[in-house]
Amino acid sequence: MTDSTQAAAAPETTTSAAEPVQSDAVVAPAAEAQAPAAEVPADAGQPVEYADFSVPEGLEIDADVLGSFKGIAKELGIPQEAAQKLIDLQAGLVQKQAEANQAALAEQAQQWEAAVKADKEIGGERYAQTVETAVKAIEKFGSPELRTLLNESGIGNHPELVKFCHRIGQSLSEDGLVMGGTQAHKEMSLVDAFR
């Protein structure tokens, strides 16, 4: 037999004892069982250049990532409409992840606030005074950008930061920062000052 006759030969069919043979069963040759797939040209349906993709307002696609996506989409023969559906899917996933992150940050900030309220040193009945004193320190030494960061990130509710700012606020007086401990004014000579 030659190679061409081997390829055309029908495969042998076997049955096992566990499988009953049905007399009215029709066995199709392997060539007829599978219809040949229609050949699609590699560039069928794919644009030479993709038009701009639309994304939801407020969401931007990184130019490098978009370039990579376009290359892969073109390689796979994905038409513009289908590629846009993939962009839409990814945009939805990004938005859901951002929402989940915001929810997790909000939950963490609430947990920190609850921990501050429950803290024996700064919470309970002292909570309102603690917050007032901590805010005093932030207003004295912090910038508006710091206040925005503390509020938007929720980190302003972290128990250790609240304690830190509260202690700074306690050390503030009408005249300025009061240093702890006893510090008596000491007369110094010019030589002593540079030692």
Domain presence at residue 63: yes
CA distance 84 to 61: 13
Of the two residues 97 and 23, the one the predictor is more confident about is 97
Mapped onto helix, strand or coil, the DSSP state of residue 54 is coil
Q: What are 40-70's pLDDT values in tens digits?
A: 555 555 566 899 999 988 889 899 999 999 9
pTM > 0.75: no
pLDDT of amino acid 49: 85
Mean pLDDT on 24-30? 49
Q: Based on the structure, what is the number of domains in the chain?
A: 2
pLDDT at 190 over 80: no
* Residue 83 and residue 126 share a domain: no
Domain presence at residue 190: no
* Residue 93 and residue 54 share a domain: yes
Tokens, residue 146: 């710091």
Q: What are 142-174's pLDDT values in tens digits?
A: 999 999 999 899 999 999 999 999 999 999 854
CA distance 83 to 40: 18
Q: Which of 17-26, 123-132, 151-160 has the lowest mean pLDDT?
A: 17-26
Mean pLDDT on 72-91? 95
Using a 10 angstrom Cβ sphere, with 0-12 exposed, 13-18 middle and 19 or more buried, the burial of residue 171 is middle
Domain presence at residue 132: yes
The one-letter code for the residue type at 110 is Q
Domain presence at residue 184: no
| Ramachandran category for residue 121: left, alpha or beta (phi over 0 → left; psi -120 to 50 → alpha) | alpha
CA distance 116 to 124: 8
What are φ and ψ of residue 100, in 5° steps?
A: -65, -40
Q: Which domain holds residue 151?
A: 119-179
